[in-house]
């Protein structure tokens, strides 16, 4: 059966921002989001919103415009129906691998090209900013790589895991069990599949949970490393509960915030006693490392 897709065209930073907001705000069933270049070196990127077979393209566009409103105002959009196929895999098949410190994030087409001594993480079609191409995920991997040069965390939480990249990276680099969670049920399924694909299915436990309130997350605390790659608003709201879950001397790696949101997020965590010790900026997206 045909699948409805809405394509939104915007410069890279705006496209990535639209994709993150769409993941956070849209409640459509079977939604998948892919961010990609339109052509090599073309400044215009494309956000593809795939909504399955139970919605007409015109209804998909109306829903997206109602929710995202000004965020996509002025952007070229195209709503269409495409024939049933492994369309997300096709969209991501041409993505180049990402090298972030010791981590090499790649699709199946690059599984034979993992550099010697790199930690390979194979991620298949899902949310594109969970593949490592987005500045937030790559920033977290780079921050984690720096952290590993001076310490070896033993209790790790990946909050808002998405496709599971950060949890998988921690499990493979540290050879320890890792707890991961996401508020989105489909992301939980995808993260579990990717963990199994990377032979980390037994090491990465993925929970369907909202924030820090899940009893399994609370029981496993305190952590000496917490990843939280979400959005600025939830990061601020979660500051007290994340701070309570980090042991003295532990580290929090935050991302999902733009440069103009950095001050508010940093202030929220400073108020909880967490001190900024590192900062990475990629395409206007900030990754912060904080110490307890």
Same domain, 136 and 278: yes
In a domain, 70, yes or no: yes
27 and 144 in a single domain? The answer is no
Are 275 and 137 contained in the same domain? Answer: yes
pLDDT digits (tens, 9 = 90+) for 202-214: 999 999 999 998 9
Band of residue 129 on the pLDDT scale cut at 50, 70, 90: very low
Bigger pLDDT: 28 or 151?
151
Which of 58, 85, 112 represents a domain boundary (last residue)? Answer: 85
**Interval 130-159 mean pLDDT:** 89
What are the CA-CA distances from residue 252 to residues 71, 242, 267 (Å)?
Answer: 30, 8, 14
Residue 217 · residue 242 · CB < 8 Å: no
Is position 235 within any domain? yes
CATH of the domain at 165: 3.40.50.150
The answer on whether 219 is annotated among ligand-binding residues is no
Is the pLDDT at 200 greater than 70, yes or no? yes
Q: Which tokens go with 216?
A: 């399994």
The DSSP 8-state label assigned to residue 96 in this structure reads P
161 is in an annotated binding site: no
Q: Could you give phi then psi for residue 119, rounded to 5 degrees?
A: -95, 105
Q: What DSSP assignment string belongs to 22-69?
A: HHHH---TT-EEEEEESSTT-SEEEEEEE--SSS-HHHHHHHHHHHHG
Q: What six digits make up the tokens of 276?
A: 């900024």
Identify whether 269 is part of a domain: yes
Quick one: 185 and 281 in the same domain?
yes
Q: What is the pLDDT of residue 85?
A: 55
Take residue 160 and report the two structure tokens written for it: 């808002």
Q: State the CATH number of the domain containing residue 62.
A: 3.30.70.260
| 97 domain residue, yes or no | no
Is residue 182 part of an annotated ligand binding site? yes
**What residues contact 17, with CB distance under 8 A and at least 6 apart?**
71, 258
* Number of separate domains in the chain: 2
How far apart CA 260 and CA 96 sit, in angstroms, is: 29
| pLDDT 10s digits, 256-276 | 888 999 999 999 999 999 999
Position 101 pLDDT exceeds 80: yes
Same domain, yes or no, for 33 and 157?
Answer: no
Whether residue 137 is annotated as binding a ligand: the answer is: yes
Query: Mean pLDDT, to the nearest integer, of 120-139?
Result: 69
Over residues 76-95, the pLDDT tens digits come to 999 998 876 555 555 555 56
Q: Which domain holds residue 151?
A: 127-291
Q: Which of 32, 67, 85 is the C-terminal boundary of a domain? A: 85
**Contact between 262 and 246 (Cβ < 8 Å):** no
């Amino acid at each position: 059966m045909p699948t409805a897709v809405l394509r939104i065209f915007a410069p890279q930073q705006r496209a990535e921002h639209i994709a993150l907001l769409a993941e956070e705000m849209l409640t459509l069933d079977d939604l998948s989001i892919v961010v990609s270049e339109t052509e090599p070196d073309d400044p215009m990127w494309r956000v593809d919103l795939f909504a399955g077979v139970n919605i007409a393209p015109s209804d998909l566009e109306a829903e997206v415009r109602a929710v995202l409103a000004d965020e996509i105002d002025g952007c070229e959009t195209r709503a269409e129906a495409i024939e049933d196929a492994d369309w997300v895999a096709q969209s991501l098949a041409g993505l180049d691998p990402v090298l972030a410190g010791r981590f090499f994030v790649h699709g199946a087409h690059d599984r034979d090209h993992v550099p010697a001594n790199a930690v390979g993480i194979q991620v298949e079609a899902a949310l594109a900013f969970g593949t490592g191409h987005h500045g937030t995920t790559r920033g977290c991997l780079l921050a984690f790589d720096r952290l590993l040069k001076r310490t070896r965390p033993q209790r790790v939480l990946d909050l808002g895991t998405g496709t599971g990249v950060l949890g998988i990276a921690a499990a493979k680099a540290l050879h320890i069990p890792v707890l991961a969670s996401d508020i989105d049920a489909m992301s939980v399924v995808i993260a579990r599949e990717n963990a199994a694909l990377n032979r980390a299915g037994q090491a990465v436990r993925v929970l369907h949970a909202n924030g820090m309130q899940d009893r399994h997350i609370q029981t496993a605390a305190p952590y000496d490393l917490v990843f939280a790659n979400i959005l600025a608003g939830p990061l601020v709201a979660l500051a007290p509960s994340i701070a309570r879950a980090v042991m003295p001397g532990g580290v929090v790696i935050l991302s999902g915030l733009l440069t103009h949101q950095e001050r508010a997020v940093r202030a929220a965590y400073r108020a909880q006693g967490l001190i900024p010790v590192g900062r990475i900026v990629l395409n206007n997206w900030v990754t912060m490392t904080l110490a307890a």
